[in-house]
C-alpha cells in the first residue's frame, strides 16, 4: 500500500477549514437547533439497527464536530468521539459543554487511534461519508475491531459504493456512471468550491482526496479483522440530497427521480466480536 500521508494531510486541512462553515450552515442548522432544544438527531436506518444504547459505551469514529456523537449521548450512551480534525474536536467539546452533555472527544486519525486511546466499547460506530477519506480499509477495520468489547459490535451506515460512482455534477438529470468503483483506481483528486453543507462557501483549502472502496472490500476487511458479520443491508435511497437527480419522499429520505428503487444508495452492516 502506498504512503498516502500527503493526501490525508490535505484532507485534514480541508476539514479544519470547513468545520466552522458546517456549524454555521443551513444544512446542519435544524439538527443543531433540535439538539439545543433537548432532542437528538434520529436516523431512520441507524437508530433502529443499533438499538437501545442506554448504559452502553459507544465509540464514534470520524465524528466530525460531534453532532451524532452527542445525539447518542442524549439517548443514554457513554460516548467517545474521534476525528483527525483538531478544529472539529474543539467544536465538539464546546458544543458538549454548551449543552451540558457528558462526552469525551479525542483528536486522532483512525489508524493511530489504538496508540491514542485506551479501553474497549460495547458499540463502535461510523457513518455517512467517512470511509471514502481512508486509503486502507484493512487498517480501518482492524482499528475498529481493536476497540470492540467481546460480545459488542461494529456498526457502519454508509453511502453505497454504487452511489459513489454516479455523476454528481450540477445539472445532471439521471444516473450515469462517472467515478471508478474499485479501489485499484487509486485516490480521486478534487478541488471543488464550497462543501456539501454550503456549496457557495469560499474555501481556501479546496484540495481533497477520496478513495474508492467496493462493497466487497468493506465486508472482507471487517471479516478479516476478526468480526462476525451479522447483517449487510442495502437501501435504494439516500439520507440527504447528495445527487442532483433525487427528491424527498414521504419517508423523509431522498429517492432517484428516475429509476427509483433500481440502484442502492446506502448500505449498513453490523459485525460482532465473539464473547
Find the helix packing angle between 137-146 and 215-224, rounded to 10°: 40
Query: Tell me, what's the pLDDT at 87?
Result: 98
Query: Tell me, what's the pLDDT at 183?
Result: 84
Structural domains of the chain ordered from first start: 5-35+65-272 (3.40.50.150)
User: Comparing C-alpha atoms, which of 68, 62, 102 is closest to residue 82?
Assistant: 62
Query: Tell me, what's the pLDDT at 105?
Result: 98
Cβ contact 57:122 at 8 Å: yes
184's CB contacts (< 8 A; 6+ apart) are none
What is d(CA 208, CA 190) in angstroms, rounded to the nearest whole number?
Answer: 5
- The per-residue pLDDT string of the chain (275 residues; one tens digit each, 9 = 90 and over) reads 678 999 999 999 999 999 999 999 999 999 999 999 999 999 999 999 999 999 999 999 999 999 999 999 999 999 999 999 999 999 999 999 999 999 999 999 999 999 999 999 999 999 999 999 999 999 999 999 999 999 999 999 999 999 999 999 988 988 999 999 998 878 999 998 899 999 999 999 999 999 999 999 999 999 999 999 999 999 999 999 989 999 999 999 999 999 999 999 999 999 999 99
Cβ contact 255:237 at 8 Å: yes
Give Rg (Cα) of the chain: 18
Helix H or strand E encompassing 64: none
What is d(CA 128, CA 134) in angstroms, rounded to the nearest whole number?
Answer: 13
What is d(CA 219, CA 200) in angstroms, rounded to the nearest whole number?
Answer: 36
Cβ contact 53:29 at 8 Å: no
Query: Tell me, what's the pLDDT at 115?
Result: 97
Find the helix packing angle between 5-23 and 86-99, rounded to 10°: 30
Amino acid at each position: 500500500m502506498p504512503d498516502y500521508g500527503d493526501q490525508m494531510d490535505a484532507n485534514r486541512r480541508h476539514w479544519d477549514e470547513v468545520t466552522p462553515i458546517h456549524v454555521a450552515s443551513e444544512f446542519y442548522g435544524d439538527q443543531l437547533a433540535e439538539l439545543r432544544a433537548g432532542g437528538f438527531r434520529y436516523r431512520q436506518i441507524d437508530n433502529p439497527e443499533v438499538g437501545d444504547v442506554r448504559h452502553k459505551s459507544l465509540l464514534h469514529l470520524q465524528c466530525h464536530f460531534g453532532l451524532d456523537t452527542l445525539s447518542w449521548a442524549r439517548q443514554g450512551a457513554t460516548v467517545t468521539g474521534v476525528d483527525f480534525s483538531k478544529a472539529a474536536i474543539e467544536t465538539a467539546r464546546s458544543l458538549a459543554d454548551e449543552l451540558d452533555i457528558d462526552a469525551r472527544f479525542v483528536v486522532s486519525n483512525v489508524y493511530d487511534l489504538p496508540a491514542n486511546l485506551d479501553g474497549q466499547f460495547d458499540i463502535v460506530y461510523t457513518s455517512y461519508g467517512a470511509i471514502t477519506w481512508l486509503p486502507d480499509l484493512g487498517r480501518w477495520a482492524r482499528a475498529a475491531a481493536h476497540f470492540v468489547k467481546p460480545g459488542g459490535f461494529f456498526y457502519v451506515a454508509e453511502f453505497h459504493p454504487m452511489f459513489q460512482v454516479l455523476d454528481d455534477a450540477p445539472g445532471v438529470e439521471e444516473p450515469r456512471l462517472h467515478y471508478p468503483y474499485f479501489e485499484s483506481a487509486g485516490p480521486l483528486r478534487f478541488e471543488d468550491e464550497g462543501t456539501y453543507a454550503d456549496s457557495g462557501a469560499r474555501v481556501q483549502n479546496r484540495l481533497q482526496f477520496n478513495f474508492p472502496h467496493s462493497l466487497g472490500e468493506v465486508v472482507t476487511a471487517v471479516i478479516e479483522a476478526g468480526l462476525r458479520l451479522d447483517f449487510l443491508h442495502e437501501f435504494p435511497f439516500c439520507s440527504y440530497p447528495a445527487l442532483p437527480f433525487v427528491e424527498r419522499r414521504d419517508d423523509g429520505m431522498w429517492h432517484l427521480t428516475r429509476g427509483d428503487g433500481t440502484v442502492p444508495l446506502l448500505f449498513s452492516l453490523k459485525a460482532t466480536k465473539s464473547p
